[in-house]
């Protein structure tokens, strides 16, 4: 399939895929020294402030007006607060590679919810994707239930995260936005981070804030790379990438997450993980790779 993509875009896409993939075990590593909700609140706050300063320096309008605030709140609830809260709770319970595999079932949920809520057409490819995702979830659930240290609740958290992302994607597609997508994202992050500080304060003990050097590095990664550079690269690419190219990047993230987890947190994937990953990658290909001409699915994942 011929795709019009420059060498610069290709390198940007490779960097983005690596950033998103490596972020899953980096999150798992961080949870050794910091509770999940405070971790999310801290890194999202740092990322939002850095993006705000960056886009302000580029001359973007950074303050929503009037009814635009309603869009920030309604889109931010599933896309930012819901996804990031549920996902970090899932990472806490599961191996990070496994969490990444389950989290990236989100494009399939987008299609299914679109059919259920908006009457969008279901195709054979969607049917195949549903079966593939069901098989992946079944494989990992069985493994969690039969393992001595299994935590099947983590699967519930990750699928809730994926469903919320799918809901947010559908809402984003239908929103009539008048503010720049960069501004929308930054304010969704700011408001979600504020909510997370409150939720963390009421549910988790106050952190000690005495971390190891590697932990500080992991926090900086979360702020500057995952919430910072990755978002900037994605916004730069998303408007111009062919749908097939975007799909390939999204398919590769769980693979990068699973493989890098061996190096970063010492996880040893089982055959269940690799089988489930192949199922999810096949499902993503089925729903995102266009038959010929189809508009790109507008998703901008940030794990």
Return d(Cα 89, Cα 78) in angstroms, integer. Answer: 15
- Give pLDDT, residue 150: 86
Q: Is the pLDDT of residue 101 over 90?
A: yes
**CB atoms near residue 5 (< 10 Å):** 16
Measuring CA to CA, which residue among 159, 116, 151 is closest to residue 134?
A: 159
Q: What is the mean pLDDT of the chain?
A: 91
Measuring CA to CA, which residue among 217, 282, 228 is closest to residue 254?
A: 282
- Give pLDDT, residue 49: 97
- Give pLDDT, residue 303: 66
- Percent with pLDDT over 70 in the chain: 93
- Give pLDDT, residue 70: 96
Residue 118: exposed, middle, or buried by beta-carbon count in 10 A (0-12, 13-18, 19+)? Answer: exposed
Return d(Cα 290, Cα 282) in angstroms, integer. Answer: 13
Domains of the chain, by residue range, sit at: 7-288
Pair 10, 78: CB distance under 8 Å? no
- Percent with pLDDT over 90 in the chain: 76
Which pair of tokens denotes residue 135? 């098989």
* Lowest-confidence segment of 201-205, 245-249, 270-274 by average pLDDT: 245-249
The confidence band for 10, taking pLDDT boundaries of 50, 70 and 90, is confident
- Give pLDDT, residue 300: 53
Q: Is the pLDDT of residue 293 over 50?
A: yes
The model's pTM: 0.91
How distant, in Å, are the alpha carbons of 1, 37, 149 from that of 245? 10, 33, 38
pLDDT in tens, 232-266: 998 888 777 776 777 778 889 999 999 999 999 99
DSSP, res 296 = P
Question: Average pLDDT for residues 132-144, to the nearest whole number?
Answer: 95
Q: Is the pLDDT of residue 3 over 80?
A: no
- Give pLDDT, residue 74: 97
Return d(Cα 72, Cα 4) in angstroms, integer. Answer: 33
pLDDT in tens, 145-192: 998 788 999 999 999 999 999 999 999 889 898 999 999 999 999 999
How distant, in Å, are the alpha carbons of 71, 82, 170, 192, 218 from that of 78? 12, 5, 10, 10, 26
The confidence band for 1, taking pLDDT boundaries of 50, 70 and 90, is very low
Which stretches within the chain are classed as H helix?
7-30, 36-57, 68-76, 83-93, 96-103, 106-118, 124-146, 153-174, 181-203, 213-220, 230-238, 243-264, 271-288
The confidence band for 122, taking pLDDT boundaries of 50, 70 and 90, is confident
- Give pLDDT, residue 2: 43
Which pair of tokens denotes residue 175? 């929103």
């Amino acid at each position: 399939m011929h795709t019009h993509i420059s060498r610069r875009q290709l390198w940007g896409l490779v960097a983005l895929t690596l950033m998103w993939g490596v972020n899953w075990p980096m999150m798992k590593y961080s949870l050794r020294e910091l509770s999940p909700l405070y971790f999310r609140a801290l890194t999202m706050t740092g990322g939002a402030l850095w993006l705000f300063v960056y886009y302000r320096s580029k001359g973007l309008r950074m303050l929503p007006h009037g009814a635009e605030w309603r869009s920030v709140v309604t889109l931010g609830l599933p896309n930012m607060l819901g996804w990031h809260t549920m996902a970090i709770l899932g990472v806490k319970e599961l191996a990070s590679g496994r969490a990444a595999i389950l989290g990236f079932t989100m494009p399939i949920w987008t299609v299914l919810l679109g059919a259920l809520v908006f009457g969008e057409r279901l195709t054979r490819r969607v049917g195949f994707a549903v079966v593939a995702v069901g098989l992946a979830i079944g494989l990992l659930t069985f493994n969690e239930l039969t393992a001595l240290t299994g935590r099947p609740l983590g699967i519930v958290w990750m699928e809730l995260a994926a469903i919320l992302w799918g809901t947010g994607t559908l809402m984003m597609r239908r929103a009539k936005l008048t503010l720049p997508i960069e501004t929308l994202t930054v304010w969704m992050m700011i408001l979600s981070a504020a909510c997370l500080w409150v939720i963390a304060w009421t549910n988790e003990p106050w952190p000690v804030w005495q971390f190891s050097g590697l932990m500080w590095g992991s926090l900086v990664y979360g702020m500057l790379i995952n919430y910072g550079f990755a978002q900037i690269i994605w916004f730069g690419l998303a408007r111009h990438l062919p749908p097939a190219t975007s799909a390939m990047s999204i398919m590769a993230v769980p693979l990068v997450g699973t493989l890098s987890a061996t190096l970063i947190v010492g996880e040893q994937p089982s055959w269940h993980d690799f089988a489930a990953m192949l199922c999810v990658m096949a499902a993503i290909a089925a729903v995102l790779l266009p038959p010929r001409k189809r508009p790109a699915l507008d998703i901008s994942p940030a794990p």
